[in-house]
Amino acid sequence: MTSGSVEICAVGPSVASLARFNARKSDHESYLPYEYSGYVARRGMSSLLRPNKHMLSHFPKFGEWGHVVKEIPVSTRRLDDIAEISAMDFLKIDAQGSELSVVRHGHRRLMQAVAIQTEVSFLPLYHDQPTFGEIDNEMRRLDFVPHALVAINKRMIAPLFDATSPYAAIHQLLEADIVYVRDFTRPDAMSNEQLGQLAMIAHHCYRSHDLVLNCIHHLESRRAIASGSVHIYARTLHSSAQQSL
């Protein structure tokens, strides 16, 4: 992230998507054609991992959606080895079961990152797929803590089935998008730059005003920003809330 702008880099779009993205990208965007899909299945279940037929059979339509149409050889690249990425503040991962592998092969890139949004699975929809507990352990080991669940995917357990809605659910958790942030309870482990980036991401991406205020508080205490910044931000929030009424 640079002053006054955001640099966006996306890795792994399909060939068709790559051409579309490149045709309309700005000077602050780049799209890299490094594949991550080996098993091509229906309904967005293509993955480096083979669909777990036993697990999928317990949810209506999933057996059909997870049917492998073809297998293709692919070459992948470790996050730490992508030369086009010089620095990283925020990472969003959706790798269809390979999220933990992305993190484990990106430790060097993630040393400076302050936020990671990743998809996690509570049940292994693919063979050898790491589930939430394993990903959570790895993230905490890297000094990230859970901050927010921004999407939760539930499904109905077979044989119960709503013919009018294949996406119907009661309570069973399948997947979620979870946001991890660098441990804000240990501010001394973060640089001024990291605190500033975390504040911007928390404000613009997640409306996490409490986290923003926390970062501003520490920056103000370090005299890295103007005195009174906490109160200025708080007044701005109050004014915005009043205008929305």
Looking at residue 172, its pLDDT comes to 98
- Kindly state the DSSP code that residue 57 receives in the 8-state scheme: T
pLDDT band at 63; cut points 50, 70, 90:
very high
Looking at residue 129, its pLDDT comes to 97
13/27 Cα distance (integer angstroms):
18
pLDDT band at 165; cut points 50, 70, 90:
very high
CB 76 within 8 A of CB 51: no
Mapping DSSP onto H, E and C, the string for 140-176 reads HHCCEEEEEEEEEEECCCCCCCCCCCCCCCCCCEEEE
Q: What is the pLDDT of residues 218-232, one digit of tens each?
A: 999 999 999 999 999
Q: What is the pLDDT of residues 13-62, one digit of tens each?
A: 555 566 676 677 777 667 666 655 456 676 678 888 999 999 999 999 99
119/150 Cα distance (integer angstroms):
10
Helix or strand run (H / E) with residue 15: helix 15-24
29/24 Cα distance (integer angstroms):
10
211/160 Cα distance (integer angstroms):
41
Predicted TM-score of the model (pTM): 0.86
**Mean pLDDT of the chain, nearest integer:** 88
CB 12 within 8 A of CB 35: yes
- Looking at the chain, the whole-number percentage of residues with pLDDT higher than 70 is 84
Which whole number is the average pLDDT over 191-205? Answer: 97
Half-sphere exposure of 77 (CA within 13 A, CB side): 13
What lies within 8 Å, CB to CB, of 196 at 6+ separation is: 215, 219, 224
Which whole number is the average pLDDT over 200-222? Answer: 97
What lies within 8 Å, CB to CB, of 238 at 6+ separation is: none
For residues 131 and 10, which has the higher predicted lDDT (pLDDT)? 131
pLDDT band at 145; cut points 50, 70, 90:
very high
pLDDT band at 238; cut points 50, 70, 90:
confident
Which whole number is the average pLDDT over 94-113? Answer: 94
What is each CA distance from 120 to 77, 177, 191, 243, in whole angstroms? Answer: 21, 6, 29, 37
